[in-house]
Amino acid sequence: MLKYAILFMISLLLCVLIVPRVIKKAVKLDVVDKPTTRKVHRKIIPLWGGVAIFLSFVLALFLFYLLSSDLFPFSLFSATDFSRFSMDFRGRLGMSSGALRLKLAGLLLGGLTVLITGMIDDRYGLSPKRKLLGQLVAALIVVAFGVRVLGFNIPFMNHYVSLTSGQGFAGAALFLFSATVSIVWILAVINSMNFIDGLDGLAGGISFISAATFFALAFLKPSMSLAGENISAFIAVVAVTLCGSILGFLFFNFRPARIFMGDPGSMFLGFMLASLSLLGSFKGVTAITLFTPALILSVPIFDIIFAVARRLSRGLPVSVSDKSHVHHRLLALGLSPLQAVVIIWLVAALFNLIAFLLA
């Protein structure tokens, strides 16, 4: 557990150091969120907080890999215990050899794609179609690198249905089905997180709770092998690093916020959480199937489902913004923004606890 705590602290501290620099850059480039009648805040707030989350996440993983490499003669950590410790993490990151290396590359390249898409949208504005195209490219990248639903458990029956066992035409059909479901799932989670990002700390807190649940499920599950490498530990490493980056950002984003994560942050976090759930679809890894992450991410998913249904029933485009999201409704009941955020966090935590107990 100490190993994960250290990695968590590395990503947290890196994010705390990076955020002030991102704030200065966003203000300089006028990448800010200005108050409107639809928004809750009443002053100009810098965007691009997601850039700090992404950079601290990637740098934390890279730093740990570097410390475990012979290319970095760090004498303070030359003891045998640390050598075993760092090499263990190097293997868990899948960067020594094997199938997980491709999956890590897919996560980073896909994450970078949605980050850049969000940065462009915050800076210049993108049409909904172009924004969706960037998300689709990211989803295609990560699926092409092997991060897709490999199977699913039938709830309460303890029966696993594999999507990788077919051959010939049947195998191709299963792959196409698996890839399609994975892409749709990734796009749904990205946009659900993007939709619910409307109050200080709301999306960040939900993302932290969800990532922590993924970590707990992977950490407590017995080690499972995928092509000779420990995929449970891989999920745990990615999830705990993401937790550290999110918490570091929340120090600046919780009310009153000094910076917003913007589209780069909400889309990157949605992308990573969706990808973690797909990684967990390997038989027996964490019991994470599309049923379990649907519970883990229930608040943003329910919010986007109701938002889409509401707009379609009114004959409005899905991309049109309104003030009927769950946090807007809580504010309309007379709750303060802080009270609304805490209530939604508690609901998210409850659903995550149910998912954890079921898994």
Helices then strands, counting H and E runs in the chain, come out as: 13, 6
Residues near 203 by beta carbon (within 8 Å), at least 6 away in sequence: 193, 196, 197, 261, 265, 266, 269, 300
Give the DSSP per-residue string, 181-213.
HHHHHHHHHHHHHHHH--STTHHHHHHHHHHHH
pLDDT of the residue at 293: 63
User: What b/e readout covers 8-32, taking b as 16+ CB neighbours within 10 angstroms?
Assistant: bebbbebbbebbeebbeebbeeebb
Is the confidence at residue 224, as pLDDT, over 60? no
Question: How many beta carbons lie within 10 A of that of residue 322, not counting itself?
Answer: 12
Side-chain half-sphere of 222: how many Cα atoms within 13 Å? 2
Compute the Cα dihedral for 352, 357, 358, 359 and give only its sign. Answer: positive
Q: For residue 89, which of 285, 212, 229 has the smallest C-alpha distance?
A: 229
Percent of the chain with pLDDT over 90: 36
pLDDT of the residue at 78: 43
Percent of the chain with pLDDT over 70: 73
| Weakest mean pLDDT among 166-175, 326-335, 341-350 | 326-335
Q: Which residue has the tokens 């491709």?
A: 102
Is the confidence at residue 337, as pLDDT, over 90? no
Are 120 and 126 in contact by the 8 Å Cβ rule? The answer is yes
Is the confidence at residue 282, as pLDDT, over 90? no
Are 187 and 140 in contact by the 8 Å Cβ rule? The answer is no
> At 34, which amino acid appears?
K
- Comparing 318 with 30, which gets the higher pLDDT? 30
pLDDT in tens, 16-65: 999 999 999 999 999 998 776 555 556 789 999 999 999 999 999 988 77
Axis-axis angle for helices 262-279, 49-67 (nearest 10)? 50
Please tell me whether residue 175 adopts helix, strand or coil conformation.
Answer: helix
Write the DSSP symbol of residue 125: -
Is the confidence at residue 77, as pLDDT, over 60? no
Average pLDDT, the chain: 80
Side-chain half-sphere of 192: how many Cα atoms within 13 Å? 25
Is the confidence at residue 259, as pLDDT, over 70? yes
- Comparing 353 with 167, which gets the higher pLDDT? 353
- pLDDT-derived band at 118 (thresholds 50, 70, 90) equals very high
pLDDT of the residue at 9: 94
Structure tokens, 68: 């475990």
Are 307 and 195 in contact by the 8 Å Cβ rule? The answer is yes
> At 56, which amino acid appears?
S
Are 237 and 4 in contact by the 8 Å Cβ rule? The answer is yes
pLDDT in tens, 124-162: 989 989 999 999 999 999 999 989 887 766 656 666 677
| Weakest mean pLDDT among 7-16, 185-194, 195-204, 279-288 | 279-288
Q: What is the mean pLDDT of residues 107-125?
A: 95
- pLDDT-derived band at 73 (thresholds 50, 70, 90) equals very low
Q: For residue 241, which of 215, 277, 220, 204 has the smallest C-alpha distance?
A: 215
Residues near 338 by beta carbon (within 8 Å), at least 6 away in sequence: 200, 255
**What is this structure's pTM?**
0.84
